[in-house]
């Protein structure tokens, strides 16, 4: 997401990869959570962790991009979408999606319950996007970038062809965004699941 936002806002930056053997030192001395990306100012040495915070900073550094809204209300609408998506991902998706990727098995009932919560969330987005090209209506914003990045793997792995029929607005919105040249540059071409992956159950 930060790469997409950097390009869309014209944020001056250089991406640096941390070598595997330097990651432990990074976790200990740079950022307590040990997560990436991390933005570091080359002059002051001060930095920011968490991709959403970094993306907001990039947008605020170039408000003329309009990516973070042009009014206080638009900014609040963007934050609502981002914070809502983070909540859904942290509470529901994080409990079953790693199992879909094969990291660990999951309780079958937990998978079913949390899958339903996630699909209910997608249906609410579908309703929100009715007759809209973007979250703010007719202009691309940080909310759209956050959603398209967040939904990239779910649409490729678990939002199958059958369920996409129940969310036509969201599906059209997602596929349109995934054709954006800046997004394609960093995420590659969109892949849509034919039949959703199923995890191993405990």
Average pLDDT score, the chain: 91
Residues 139-169 have pLDDT tens digits of: 999 999 999 999 999 999 889 999 999 999 9
pLDDT-derived band at 126 (thresholds 50, 70, 90) equals very high
Section 10-15 average pLDDT: 93
pLDDT-derived band at 198 (thresholds 50, 70, 90) equals confident
pLDDT-derived band at 101 (thresholds 50, 70, 90) equals confident
Residues 27-80 have pLDDT tens digits of: 777 777 778 899 998 888 888 989 999 999 999 999 999 999 999 999 999 999
Cβ burial of 12 (10 Å; 0-12, 13-18, 19+) is exposed
Section 107-114 average pLDDT: 89
Share of the chain above pLDDT 90, in %: 65
pLDDT-derived band at 18 (thresholds 50, 70, 90) equals confident
pTM: 0.91
| Spatial distance between the Cα atoms of 194 and 168, rounded to a whole number of angstroms | 15
For residue 105, the model assigns a pLDDT of 85
């Amino acid at each position: 997401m930060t790469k997409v936002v950097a390009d869309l806002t014209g944020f001056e930056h250089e991406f640096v990869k941390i070598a595997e053997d330097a990651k432990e030192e990074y976790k200990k001395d740079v950022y307590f959570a040990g997560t990436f990306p991390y933005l570091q100012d080359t002059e002051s040495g001060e930095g920011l962790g968490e991709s959403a915070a970094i993306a907001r900073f990039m947008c605020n550094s170039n408000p003329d991009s309009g990516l973070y809204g042009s009014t206080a209300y638009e900014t609040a609408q963007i934050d609502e979408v981002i914070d809502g998506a983070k909540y859904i991902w942290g509470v529901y998706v994080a409990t079953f999606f790693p199992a879909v990727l094969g990291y660990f098995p999951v309780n079958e009932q937990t998978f079913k319950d949390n899958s339903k919560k996630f699909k209910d969330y997608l249906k609410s987005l579908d309703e929100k996007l009715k007759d809209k090209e973007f979250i703010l209506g007719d202009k691309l914003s940080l909310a759209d970038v956050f959603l398209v990045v967040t939904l990239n793997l779910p649409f490729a792995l678990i939002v199958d062809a059958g369920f996409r029929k129940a969310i036509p607005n969201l599906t059209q919105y997602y596929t349109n965004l995934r054709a954006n040249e800046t997004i394609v540059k960093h995420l590659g071409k969109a892949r849509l699941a034919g039949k959703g992956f199923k995890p191993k159950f405990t």
